[in-house]
Amino acid sequence: MHVAPRLFPDFLLNTSRYMLAVVRPCRLPFSLTTRLFHDVRVYKEDKRWPGWQVIIGIETHAQIKSRLKLFSESLTSHPDDPPNTHVSPFDAAFPGTLPKLNPKCVDLAIRTAVALQSDIQPRSSFDRKHYFYSDLPSGYQITQQYAPLALGGVLNIQLPDSSPVPVRIKQIQLEQDTAKSTFNPRNLTSSIDLNRAGTGLMEIVSEPDMRSPEEAGAYVRTLQAVLRAIGSSDGNMEQGSLRCDVNVSINRPGELPGTRCEIKNLNSVRFMMAAITHEIKRQQALLTSSSLATVPQETRGFDEHTFETFRLRSKEDAPDYRYMPDPNLGELRVSQSRIETIRSTLPELPWHTRTRLKSTYGISERDVEVLLSVDSGREVQFDGDEGDGGRGAVAYFDRLVAGNGQINEDGKKKKGRDPKVAVNWMTHELLGQLAARNESFKDNTLTSGQLGELIDLVTGRIITGTSAKLLLRHLLAKPSSERVLKIAEDLQLTALSPSSSSCSSSSSSQTAEDPLFPLCKEAIAALPSEVAAVRAGNKNVLHKIVGHVMKGSRGRADAKRVREVVEGLIMGEGKQ
């Protein structure tokens, strides 16, 4: 990539009037867009609003997962960082400071564009969007209004029990994030935290191709999964690294689209879907109130308490941003070879992973979704290096099933594990215990090798499932590189059963060395009437005796083996 000095054609430089005349038509006025509208979807009635078609387009702002901000040397911050600790003079708009484009941000945006099959422009440029607000020290935001980084593209979304819907991408542009202002109503002051100011954002604009709140939700979730898989953004809506503006309009099927209202800054998929639902009902009520009623074009907010949208400003009050090319930044040129290098480092994309997980491992749709949605916290490095060795949930699961690196005592590589057993341990036990510890997958210290060994110990009946859960809890609380078997032995969690040789035969192998033996005898002595019932032929009562032994063994006994031993003892004694 090469940042060249900006070369404006003469007619753009001569007069600003001419420049506007040439450049403005790139953005069609709304009425014209409406006239050119060609519906890509076939109308399907929704029982919630019969006789109305809903049209939704989403503008997503995704924070770029880069160490440095878009135009300064300052480190990007985390929402928990102390205020104003990640600020360079440029972020604070000190006079005389100049922007310097961070190539990593551009690479990550290109990575996103490649994943979304967007057409990366060999030349793009930066513009200033002016407005005056306390969270914007320079009085303008640097964005790509006229010549964005990438145009076009598609994101396929999949709703349960329906065919995939291709949502077209209109454009992807680079821009700066703003600072954060917090108003304190008690002393009527605003505090400004510049940590976020200047962080790189990708604005990903969809075409108006979604037709229901559910499709909008699926679009954001799919986009989130793509951004996480390729490592270009955390995509974390709660922490604000992914924010959506949703445009909603309704119309009668076959007629032109209605006027859109834009609901700003939605920070959860749930709220976004609720905001759309409320907005559809509000517009429907408005349009059916009288034959002359129209929906005014507005920018609206969403009240998280009432679950209603409210008016922020009308189109007439829309600020004039006085866009102008940023004179301090040159034209951004992206070479085809740079795009190809980035394309070659792209990992498997979520829709390919989904198909592979289902077809190769035969695991359920639900388990696939859990694996895909788990936040891997993976920091992608370029030029072929996957950084941390691919600790993402899917890669972890692949290694867990393959048993990579696990060598048997006889020196041979272990054969793969049962995917259904592995996914159960990973999604239910590991993720469950991490959640109980208030941690996410990226905090996980247990390697896939260790979890694999734990699973092998259970399938080999060396420890019971109950003990394995205890052991897992211990391993998460006290991470260790020790063999899992050694830890299980140290904690006396190995199963109470005879050695494997004596285990192979049934009741005939019961010996005094069998550690289950005394426990079973004790249970038989403690429950004489149950023993009599078993002898009389009521085998169901065996459960109670087995339960007694299990309790005495504190989960270390294998229930199946206990049943064998108890039954052998009772029937054996009965014969004597």
Ligand X SMILES: Nc1ncnc2c1ncn2[C@@H]1O[C@H](COP(=O)(O)OP(=O)(O)OP(=O)(O)O)[C@@H](O)[C@H]1O
Please check whether residue 190 is in contact with residue 156, taking contact to mean a CB–CB distance below 8 angstroms. no
**Nearby residues of 127 by Cβ (< 8 Å), 6 or more positions away:** 142, 143, 144, 145, 146, 323, 324, 325, 326
Q: How many residues does the chain have?
A: 576
Per CB under 6 A, the segment of 107-115, 241-249, 378-386, 417-425 that binds ligand X is: 241-249
**Nearby residues of 493 by Cβ (< 8 Å), 6 or more positions away:** 463, 467, 470, 471, 556
Residue 58 near which of Mg ion, ligand X, none (CB within 5-8 Å, type-dependent):
ligand X
CA atoms within 13 A on the CB side of 352: 8
Question: Distance between CA atoms of 204 and 245, rounded to whole angstroms?
Answer: 10
Residue 206 near which of ligand X, Mg ion, none (CB within 5-8 Å, type-dependent):
ligand X
Q: Which residue is nearest to Mg ion (CB)?
A: 59
Instruction: Quote the least distance from Cβ 173 to ligand X, whole Å.
Output: 9
Instruction: Quote the least distance from Cβ 207 to ligand X, whole Å.
Output: 5
- The site that binds ligand X (CB under 6 A) totals a number of residues, namely 15
- Check the CA dihedral 185-186-189-191 and report its sign: negative
**HEC readout, 266-297:** ECCHHHHHHHHHHHHHHHHHHHHHCCCCCCCC
- Which residues within the stretch 196-215 sit at the binding site for ligand X (CB under 6 A)? 205-208
Residue 509 DSSP symbol: G
- Which residues within the stretch 48-77 sit at the binding site for ligand X (CB under 6 A)? 55-59
Indicate the residue among 22 and 318 with the shorter CB distance to Mg ion.
Answer: 318
Instruction: Quote the least distance from Cβ 166 to ligand X, whole Å.
Output: 14
Please check whether residue 126 is in contact with residue 143, taking contact to mean a CB–CB distance below 8 angstroms. yes
CA 353 vs CA 41, 142, 265, 487: distances in Å: 27, 36, 30, 35
**Nearby residues of 328 by Cβ (< 8 Å), 6 or more positions away:** 98, 99
- Which residues within the stretch 222-261 sit at the binding site for Mg ion (CB under 5 A)? 245
- 129: part of which helix (H) or strand (E)? strand 127-130
Residue 199 near which of Mg ion, ligand X, none (CB within 5-8 Å, type-dependent):
none
Instruction: Provide φ and ψ at 217, rounded to 5°.
Output: -60, -45
Instruction: Quote the least distance from Cβ 284 to ligand X, whole Å.
Output: 14
Instruction: Quote the least distance from Cβ 299 to Mg ion, whole Å.
Output: 8
Indicate the residue among 33 and 492 with the shorter CB distance to Mg ion.
Answer: 33
Instruction: Quote the least distance from Cβ 262 to ligand X, whole Å.
Output: 6
Residue 56 near which of Mg ion, ligand X, none (CB within 5-8 Å, type-dependent):
ligand X
Residue 257 near which of Mg ion, ligand X, none (CB within 5-8 Å, type-dependent):
ligand X
Residue 388 near which of ligand X, Mg ion, none (CB within 5-8 Å, type-dependent):
none
Indicate the residue among 262 and 388 with the shorter CB distance to Mg ion.
Answer: 262
Residue 57 near which of Mg ion, ligand X, none (CB within 5-8 Å, type-dependent):
ligand X
Residue 249 near which of Mg ion, ligand X, none (CB within 5-8 Å, type-dependent):
ligand X
Indicate the residue among 59 and 379 with the shorter CB distance to Mg ion.
Answer: 59
- 574: part of which helix (H) or strand (E)? helix 559-575
Instruction: Quote the least distance from Cβ 257 to ligand X, whole Å.
Output: 4
Which of 59, 214, 308, 379 contacts Mg ion by CB under 5 A? 59
Residue 361 DSSP symbol: I
Instruction: Quote the least distance from Cβ 24 to ligand X, whole Å.
Output: 13
What tokens does 219 get? Answer: 């679009």
Indicate the residue among 144 and 345 with the shorter CB distance to ligand X.
Answer: 144
**Nearby residues of 82 by Cβ (< 8 Å), 6 or more positions away:** none
Instruction: Provide φ and ψ at 565, rounded to 5°.
Output: -65, -45
Indicate the residue among 207 and 348 with the shorter CB distance to ligand X.
Answer: 207
Instruction: Quote the least distance from Cβ 409 to ligand X, whole Å.
Output: 60
Residue 244 near which of ligand X, Mg ion, none (CB within 5-8 Å, type-dependent):
none
Alpha helices in 392-464 (DSSP H): 393-402, 419-424, 431-436, 448-459
- Which residues within the stretch 369-428 sit at the binding site for ligand X (CB under 6 A)? none
Q: Any contact of residue 39 with ligand X (CB under 6 A)?
A: no
Which of 53, 249, 447, 553 contacts ligand X by CB under 6 A? 249
Indicate the residue among 195 and 249 with the shorter CB distance to Mg ion.
Answer: 249
Burial of 106 (0-12, 13-18, 19+ CB in 10 A): buried
Instruction: Quote the least distance from Cβ 208 to ligand X, whole Å.
Output: 4
Indicate the residue among 208 and 231 with the shorter CB distance to ligand X.
Answer: 208
Instruction: Quote the least distance from Cβ 59 to ligand X, whole Å.
Output: 5
Please check whether residue 211 is in contact with residue 53, taking contact to mean a CB–CB distance below 8 angstroms. yes
Instruction: Quote the least distance from Cβ 83 to ligand X, whole Å.
Output: 28
Which of 63, 102, 241, 247 contacts ligand X by CB under 6 A? 247
Using CB under 6 A as the criterion, what x/- string covers residues 259-278 for binding ligand X?
-x-x----------------
Chain centroid to CA 534: how far?
A: 54
Q: Which residue is nearest to ligand X (CB)?
A: 57
- 501: part of which helix (H) or strand (E)? helix 500-503
What tokens does 14 get? Answer: 């001569």
Residue 207 near which of ligand X, Mg ion, none (CB within 5-8 Å, type-dependent):
ligand X
Instruction: Quote the least distance from Cβ 381 to ligand X, whole Å.
Output: 32
Residue 510 near which of Mg ion, ligand X, none (CB within 5-8 Å, type-dependent):
none
Which of 103, 152, 240, 257 contacts ligand X by CB under 6 A? 257
Residue 425 DSSP symbol: I
**Nearby residues of 171 by Cβ (< 8 Å), 6 or more positions away:** 118, 148, 150, 151, 152, 205
Per CB under 6 A, the segment of 242-250, 345-353, 450-458, 492-500 that binds ligand X is: 242-250
According to DSSP, the residues that pair with 55 across neighbouring strands are 249
Q: Which residues bind Mg ion (CB under 5 A)?
A: 59, 245, 262
Q: Which residues bind ligand X (CB under 6 A)?
A: 55-59, 205-208, 247-249, 257, 260, 262
